Structure 1
Amino acid sequence: MADPFPETGRLVAEAVPGDNALAVSVSELAGRLKRVVEGEFGHVRLRGEISGYKRATSGHVYLCLKDEGAVIDGVMWKGQALALPFQPQDGVEVIATGRLTTYPGRSKYQVVIERMELAGAGALMALLEKLKAKLAGEGLFAASAKKPLPFMPRVIGVVTSPTGAVIRDILHRLEDRCPTHVVVWPVKVQGAGAAAEIAAAVRGFDALPADGPVPRPDLVIVARGGGSIEDLWAFNEEAVVRAVAECRISIISAVGHETDTSLSDFAADLRAPTPTAAAELAVPVLADLRLTIESYRTRTERCARRYHQRGGEKLAAAARLLPKRDQLLGGQRQKADDLGARLDRGLERRVATARGLLDRQGGALRPAVLGRRVEAARARLADVWRLVESLNPDRTLERGYARVEARGSGDTVTDAAAARAAGALRLHFRGGETVDVAVERGRSRAYLSGKPEQPTLL
């Protein structure tokens, strides 16, 4: 038989006598391996610790499961990842159910995870403590972030299941203590999608407008009945805890019984051991409130009466120290009487003086005296009129004079310069007659004497 592996090397592959093994491609070999692995390991359950957990933008989850001796890659598609009842984290021990397959692109095998569960209560508590430490480090549980509860809220929002006994207990307790307007936001309190609904309900209450058709609550109660840690796990989810911590409305967390504790209890402004206790913490007892108000009213009335009584006593004591009315007004009355008598006498003297003055002035108003005064005034008026007539410039015209005035302005001309400046003159004569003349502006001529001077020989 010929050696299928001869010693001599060949550059080009050729058929060898006795060798019937055909060369296969890498893809064909990878496909055979994939079919073998998927046929042999079509259903597996793996227990291991999560490592390298990563959620892609597509929603698919990629991780590794490891133990002390080996590591295997795993992938969980988006649909199965959204259905997980908890948030996987690195270091958490889980049990993954799925099928084994290969990834030819990288020559590696991996498990396609269809379901993932925590490996016992210990792993669940480890996950809880790890998430608690993370959120506490961010300050979500700080006491300084807690908001005070309103004393008597007008509207209370309740986030719980609409069909359970919890909502009935809360409503009955509120009705017994102090009837209040309650708005219920129905949600699932366990199972797939419960955490998302609870977080959306808390944020929905926080986003309600103050004047909208649905009244904005003054207080929110997040409540659920008792159960195992798996039943209460929705209230440990990071989305719920962050929604409770970021809510601007005061929140009471009432999840489970008194011995149950969830992360939402730490994030809420107040933790109630039970839903019924949450209703008791939310509102005061109306009867006690009325009794307190009545006691305050009685005390206020008693204090007011006491102050009124003491004020009356002080007023009476002060009134005894005041002087009597006659003592205060006696001197003033006497002074008023004296001034009244003086006023009467003064008026009588004033009337007598005025009457004497009137008699004297009346003598000066007799007709004979008035006639003489009128004649004297007429004589003075005639003398003044004669003086005025003598000063009238037109009176000189009667003696052969003329009055000269400028024709344009009507001003009286008194010298030659004013006449040359006016140019045109108007002459006024007796009887109101006028003559207009013009002033010549040429140079004056030099007239020679009648006899010329005798020439001289010298």
Structure 2
Amino acid sequence: MARLLAPETLANVGEFTVSELSQALKRTVEDSYGHVRVRGEISGFRGAHSSGHCYFALKDESAKIEAVIWKGVAGRMRFKPQEGLEVIATGKLTTYPGSSKYQIVIEALEPAGIGALMALMEERKKKLGAEGLFDEARKQLLPWLPDVIGVVTSPTGAVIRDILHRLEDRFPRRVLVWPVKVQGEGSAEQVAAAIHGFNALPEGGPIPRPDLLIVARGGGSLEDLWSFNEEIVVRAAAESMIPLISAVGHETDVTLIDFAADKRAPTPTAAAEMAVPVRAELFVEVQSFSRRMMLCWTRGQDSRRNELRAAARALPAASELLAIPRQRLDTAAAGLPRALRANTHAHHRRFAKAAAGITLNVLRAQVSHSAQRLGITGERLKHGARATLRHRRDRFDGLAIRLQASKLANEQAQRMRIARERERMQRLAERARRALTTLLDRQQARLTQSGKLLTALSYRGVLARGFALVRDADGRAVHAAAAVSAGAQLSVEFADGRVGVTADGGHAGEPAKPTTPASKPTQKRTPKPVDQGSLF
């Protein structure tokens, strides 16, 4: 039994203001529970607030506690809160005086075990896969022999040494290493920045742009490899324009970057083997090709030599081919001196005849006449060009004036046409409105008349005047007493309802005996409204 305090005892209890009591509770909670670790399921998370803070609740099967993550802490967190994710939160308990509730201010957040990580990874895989980041159509072919290979990994681990050693054994290539953290806070951002940085290198710049990228890391637990499951890394790998090989963990380790990369290698060493061929094998293959090419060339030369010899045996001798042409040449050479002398005499006579008609005065007169004709032709051409130019300028000015006048006239005509069409449209709209109003009035009047006619012709109007309608057990109307047998079940419909009766066996033509109803209705029924139906 609770002990009740006397009024004089209650009067001696100290008074607190609401603020003082809230502060006292706040200090008590914060002093009693400093840093705590709470395991629960995230509930009510709808994303970060506009201020950048995150508000949600942690719950289990029987309790719930409010939680808050301040903006600065949320930006540095490796794992972001997600609805329904089971997590372990580390933080300080405090109270919120504004609503008289206690809450935990979270400073660190981590998934609760491998199961939560696998569920988060599977959910993220479905989301990114639905966006098409894992489609085979997006993947690029690896270059057969890249000149420069970019490696994104830790510069101090054994991974980079294994890759360099394997490349040296197979086919030495130039390697650019972008050092990043491959585990812990900020590692995902560094890996994504490295992929974007390699893609941003210009062609022909001071730092050569890689032909192939390798993102590598040694083996580890799922938590250690989680940076390569982050969405920022997966999107960077999918957006890379340089072919990319993912070599994260061992052969049994699977990360989301493996699905977005153009090629997945089970180990970093296997990635180096995929990147370049074996130089010794190439030398052997080139030598084999060289021997085969020389052998084919030798066989071709022998075949063409045999064909040439066979063709030479089928041809006639050179002396036989040149005998007749040589005889023709000798005949032409014998007649050449005589023909040259005759040609020379003929040209000399033509030259002498032409020289007789050409003197210095004749040439001067011809030159003067030609110069005079040239001057006259030039003046005429100049005057003609000026006249043509002036005529065309006048014509263009006239056309410009006509075009301006036509433009103004056309504009005025279009404005008048638009005004007429507007007036016509207004008249048609007014006629349509009046026609619609008239049609609605007519239809309303017709509907009213049809309703009145239906009411007048309905049999219920007859019932309202004191008559009754008799139906048999099947619901058919009875028109004569002869159709009713003794003991038949009948239904008599009045204006205010129906009554079931039984025939007493009277004969046709005899007046029916009045019957006393079994019970009187306690109250008068309201007649049911007649359902006239729809006329449309």
The two structures share one fold, judged by TM-score above 0.5: yes
Judged with a 3 Å threshold, the aligned counterparts in structure 2 of structure 1 residues 345 and 223 are, in CA distance, closer, same or farther, namely closer
2:222 and 2:110 mapped to 1: Cα distance?
Answer: 14
Q: Which residue of 2 aligns with 1:240?
A: 233
- Could you tell me which of 133, 139, 155 is aligned with 1:162? 155
Q: Would the aligned equivalents of 1:54 and 1:63 in 2 still touch at CA under 8 Å? A: no
1:19 and 1:310 mapped to 2: Cα distance?
Answer: 129
Q: Would the aligned equivalents of 2:79 and 2:109 in 1 still touch at CA under 8 Å? A: no
Q: Which residue of 1 aligns with 2:98?
A: 105
1:346 and 1:159 mapped to 2: Cα distance?
Answer: 92
Q: How does 1:52-451 map to 2 (within 5 A)?
A: 52-56=45-49, 58-338=51-331
Question: How far 1:211 sits from its partner (Å)?
Answer: 2.5
Judged with a 3 Å threshold, the aligned counterparts in structure 2 of structure 1 residues 246 and 346 are, in CA distance, closer, same or farther, namely closer
Judged with a 3 Å threshold, the aligned counterparts in structure 2 of structure 1 residues 244 and 346 are, in CA distance, closer, same or farther, namely closer
Partner amino acid, structure 2, of 1:253: S
2:28 and 2:250 mapped to 1: Cα distance?
Answer: 52
Question: How far 1:218 sits from its partner (Å)?
Answer: 1.0
Q: Deviation digits for residues 199-245 of structure 1, max 9, x if unmatched?
A: 11111111112222222111111111111111111111111111111
Partner amino acid, structure 2, of 1:153: P
Q: Which residue of 2 aligns with 1:420?
A: none
Judged with a 3 Å threshold, the aligned counterparts in structure 2 of structure 1 residues 256 and 333 are, in CA distance, closer, same or farther, namely same
1:347 and 1:125 mapped to 2: Cα distance?
Answer: 108
Provide the secondary structure at the position in 2 that maps to 1:105: coil
Provide the secondary structure at the position in 1 that maps to 2:47: strand
Question: How far 1:184 sits from its partner (Å)?
Answer: 1.0
1:316 and 1:268 mapped to 2: Cα distance?
Answer: 62
Question: How far 1:18 sits from its partner (Å)?
Answer: 7.5
Q: Which residue of 1 aligns with 2:410?
A: none
Q: Are residue 45 (structure 1) and residue 40 (structure 2) matched? A: no
Q: Would the aligned equivalents of 2:74 and 2:80 in 1 still touch at CA under 8 Å? A: no
Judged with a 3 Å threshold, the aligned counterparts in structure 2 of structure 1 residues 111 and 313 are, in CA distance, closer, same or farther, namely same
Question: How far 1:196 sits from its partner (Å)?
Answer: 1.4
Judged with a 3 Å threshold, the aligned counterparts in structure 2 of structure 1 residues 340 and 225 are, in CA distance, closer, same or farther, namely closer
1:245 and 1:56 mapped to 2: Cα distance?
Answer: 29
Judged with a 3 Å threshold, the aligned counterparts in structure 2 of structure 1 residues 323 and 118 are, in CA distance, closer, same or farther, namely same
Judged with a 3 Å threshold, the aligned counterparts in structure 2 of structure 1 residues 73 and 298 are, in CA distance, closer, same or farther, namely same
Judged with a 3 Å threshold, the aligned counterparts in structure 2 of structure 1 residues 347 and 34 are, in CA distance, closer, same or farther, namely closer
Judged with a 3 Å threshold, the aligned counterparts in structure 2 of structure 1 residues 299 and 32 are, in CA distance, closer, same or farther, namely same
Question: How far 1:140 sits from its partner (Å)?
Answer: 1.1
The structure where helix makes up a greater share of residues is 2
Question: How far 1:55 sits from its partner (Å)?
Answer: 2.5
Judged with a 3 Å threshold, the aligned counterparts in structure 2 of structure 1 residues 347 and 113 are, in CA distance, closer, same or farther, namely closer
2:110 and 2:53 mapped to 1: Cα distance?
Answer: 17
1:67 and 1:82 mapped to 2: Cα distance?
Answer: 26
1:60 and 1:250 mapped to 2: Cα distance?
Answer: 39
Q: CA RMSD in A?
A: 3.0
User: Of the two, which has the highest radius of gyration?
Assistant: 1
Equivalences, count: 340
- Which segment is superposed worse, 232-241 or 56-65? 56-65
Q: Deviation digits for residues 297-325 of structure 1, max 9, x if unmatched?
A: 22222222222222222222222222222
Question: How far 1:97 sits from its partner (Å)?
Answer: 2.1
Partner amino acid, structure 2, of 1:330: A
Partner amino acid, structure 2, of 1:304: W
Judged with a 3 Å threshold, the aligned counterparts in structure 2 of structure 1 residues 136 and 343 are, in CA distance, closer, same or farther, namely closer
- Could you tell me which of 14, 28, 32 is aligned with 2:20? 28
Q: Would the aligned equivalents of 1:34 and 1:102 in 2 still touch at CA under 8 Å? A: yes
Question: How far 1:104 sits from its partner (Å)?
Answer: 2.2
2:256 and 2:337 mapped to 1: Cα distance?
Answer: 103
Q: Would the aligned equivalents of 1:86 and 1:233 in 2 still touch at CA under 8 Å? A: no
Higher relative contact order (CA closer than 8 Å, sequence separation 6+): 1
Provide the secondary structure at the position in 2 that maps to 1:179: coil
Question: How far 1:173 sits from its partner (Å)?
Answer: 0.8
Provide the secondary structure at the position in 1 that maps to 2:98: helix
Q: Percent identity?
A: 60
Judged with a 3 Å threshold, the aligned counterparts in structure 2 of structure 1 residues 345 and 271 are, in CA distance, closer, same or farther, namely closer
1:220 and 1:32 mapped to 2: Cα distance?
Answer: 60
5+ long unaligned stretches in structure 1: 5-15, 355-458
Q: Would the aligned equivalents of 1:86 and 1:237 in 2 still touch at CA under 8 Å? A: no
1:228 and 1:339 mapped to 2: Cα distance?
Answer: 103
Judged with a 3 Å threshold, the aligned counterparts in structure 2 of structure 1 residues 304 and 264 are, in CA distance, closer, same or farther, namely same
Judged with a 3 Å threshold, the aligned counterparts in structure 2 of structure 1 residues 262 and 2 are, in CA distance, closer, same or farther, namely closer
2:334 and 2:202 mapped to 1: Cα distance?
Answer: 85
2:337 and 2:106 mapped to 1: Cα distance?
Answer: 127
Q: Would the aligned equivalents of 2:35 and 2:90 in 1 still touch at CA under 8 Å? A: yes
Provide the secondary structure at the position in 2 that maps to 1:150: coil
In the superposition, the TM-score normalised over structure 1's length comes to: 0.67
1:236 and 1:2 mapped to 2: Cα distance?
Answer: 64
Judged with a 3 Å threshold, the aligned counterparts in structure 2 of structure 1 residues 311 and 173 are, in CA distance, closer, same or farther, namely same
Q: Which residue of 1 aligns with 2:495?
A: none
In the superposition, the TM-score normalised over structure 2's length comes to: 0.58
5+ long unaligned stretches in structure 2: 346-536
Q: Deviation digits for residues 59-86 of structure 1, max 9, x if unmatched?
A: 4332222233443321122443344333
1:141 and 1:199 mapped to 2: Cα distance?
Answer: 17
2:279 and 2:288 mapped to 1: Cα distance?
Answer: 14
Provide the secondary structure at the position in 2 that maps to 1:74: strand
Question: How far 1:135 sits from its partner (Å)?
Answer: 1.1
- Which segment is superposed worse, 96-105 or 331-340? 331-340
Question: How far 1:40 sits from its partner (Å)?
Answer: 4.0
Question: How far 1:130 sits from its partner (Å)?
Answer: 0.9
2:283 and 2:171 mapped to 1: Cα distance?
Answer: 11
Q: Which residue of 1 aligns with 2:487?
A: none
